[in-house]
Amino acid sequence: MKKDLIDLFSRLIKYDTTSNPKSKEFPSTESQVFYSDVLVAELMRIGLKDISIDRYSYVTATLPGNIDGPSIGFISHMDTSPDCSGYEISPIIIENYDGSDIIRKGPTLSSKDFSSLNNYIGKTIICSDGTTLLGADDKAGITEIITALKYLIDNPDVLHPTIKIAFTPDEEIGAGVDYFNVENFNCDYAYTIDGGEVGEISYENFNAARAKISIKGRSVHPGSAKDLMINASLIACEFNSMLPKIIPSNTDGYEGFFHLTSIDGNVENASLDYIIRDFDKNNFLEKKHIIKNIVKTLNQKYGNDVVTLNMYDEYYNMSEIIKKNKKIVDIAVQAIKDAGVEPKISPIRGGTDGARLSYMGLPCPNIFTGGHNFHGPFEYICVESMEKAVQTIINIATLSSNK
């Protein structure tokens, strides 16, 4: 299995599928439309027949069950993060990793900086050459699902219920299931294979909102600006200074944050974009209230409509849904144990397609892929962890046949 995993993963990451948050199209990039055809060819290669691509480039397929049981799904996304280049990824495969620095064309990948590497001494590591991300998020998930289904197809004596799979575009920009047809997918429950280190299972995630602040200033000559100029850029700085210093770099666990993702401006116009995150619904609402109050305060100070706010919710904590369907977590926990791995139940400090799908009627916790340091040039994955993910998918299928 190891060689097959490496070969398939190396093929799949060669395609640039970076999503574009500024696009008005869906999928947001033409490369994802092309990639959906690539995935169909891979599914045909392993022997699946019920394969389709809809008008939105969702790729779905079915493996009929050989025993009665609930229909289960496995889902991964095809796009990679726009935070780092995904163009011309050149993977480096290090067998029997010895814990030393990995010298690359880009920045060195060192266990001094990323201590998790020490967990994989003696194992096989894959990273990029440092000039791009690797694409394990989430082409590792796609690789693992395809590999697990191939095993089930090649071993028809292994009992399993009907299995549905889906590969989605634009997850990284929060649009992954905007047009996903849950009714047609026809599953009792599903799992996103989109997590991190080996053994990880998550059914809690952030409540998420985005706030876009626009500031309209008044530009006059600075030599005669007294009591006349309204400097939009300075108001933007003032806005940010009024927020609590609860930011990603000083929070972890169940702590939420305000995250300034972009700022732009001059005297006449300025803008700030924030994402707002919290696990607790009340704290989430309070953070949104703080943003609104700052807008109100600054408009009282500088004049009505100087500061305008466009704030909207993106997704919610799936724990409210999953806790009503806890058996699917119990199945996954047992599947991970049966793969010889200690389960690590941890909250997702982010969101997945599964969070939104859970509120669309498809309970969908998240399972590990084995990757680390997603969205940047320090991303890497352990192949032995990928093998454990494949075994976990197979185990979930066989355990579900008994439920």
User: pLDDT-derived band of residue 403, with 50, 70 and 90 as boundaries?
Assistant: low
Per cent of the chain over pLDDT 70 is: 100
Q: Which of residues 250, 284, 314 is at a domain's end? A: 314
**Same domain, yes or no: 44 and 182:** yes
Residue of 16, 171, 197, 379 marked active site: 171
**Same domain, yes or no: 240 and 321:** no
pLDDT tens track for 281-306: 999 999 999 999 999 999 999 988 99
For the record, the structure tokens of 150 come out as 């191939």
3-state secondary structure of 213: strand
What domain count does the chain have? 2
pLDDT tops 90 at residue 159: yes
Of the candidates 162, 210, 180, the one whose C-alpha atom is nearest the C-alpha of residue 357 is 180
pLDDT tens track for 342-363: 999 989 888 778 999 999 999 9
pLDDT tens track for 65-114: 999 889 999 999 999 999 999 999 999 999 999 999 999 999 999 999 99
Q: For residue 234, what is the domain's CATH number?
A: 3.30.70.360
H/E run at residue 246? none
Its domain, for residue 257, covers 208-314
H/E run at residue 398? helix 383-400
pLDDT tens track for 166-214: 999 999 998 999 999 999 999 999 999 999 999 999 999 999 999 999 9
Tell me whether residue 79 is one of the annotated catalytic residues.
Answer: yes
What is the Cα–Cα distance from 331 to 76, expressed in whole angstroms? 19
Average pLDDT along the chain: 95
What is the Cα–Cα distance from 178 to 27, expressed in whole angstroms? 10
**Same domain, yes or no: 305 and 359:** no
Residue of 16, 42, 79, 197 marked active site: 79
pLDDT tens track for 219-268: 999 999 999 999 999 999 999 999 999 999 999 989 999 999 999 999 99
